[in-house]
């Protein structure tokens, strides 16, 4: 299954967890946060469909995966 890495801020993470539990269950925690544009973010892997749904709702950003 194809996965995307998403970045969630503190507020986004709590919003997804409390308001969209069905989407939250599809997120797999990868590592502790990073500072990005003066915001602390956590990295999660999730399905492409889930990542796009969260992105369209403005609840995450998708990490660039240039390989």
- Considering its fold, how many domains does the chain have in total? 1
With a cut of 70, say whether residue 37 has pLDDT above it: no
Residue of 54, 15, 30 whose CA lies nearest to 62: 54
Q: Which domain holds residue 10?
A: 3-62
Residue 46 has a pLDDT of 97
The answer to whether residues 52 and 46 touch, using CB atoms and an 8 Å cutoff, is no
The pair of structure tokens assigned to 44 is 């999660």
Domain membership flag for residue 49:
yes
Q: pLDDT, tens digit, for every residue of 41-59?
A: 899 999 999 999 999 999 9
Domain membership flag for residue 45:
yes
Identify the band that residue 67 occupies on the pLDDT scale cut at 50, 70 and 90. very low
């Amino acid at each position: 299954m194809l996965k995307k890495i998403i970045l969630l801020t503190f507020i986004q993470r709590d919003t997804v967890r409390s308001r969209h539990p069905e989407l939250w269950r599809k997120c797999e925690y990868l590592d502790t946060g990073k500072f990005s544009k003066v915001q602390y973010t956590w990295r999660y892997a999730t399905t492409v469909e889930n990542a796009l749904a969260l992105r369209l709702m403005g609840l995450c950003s998708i990490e660039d995966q240039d390989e």
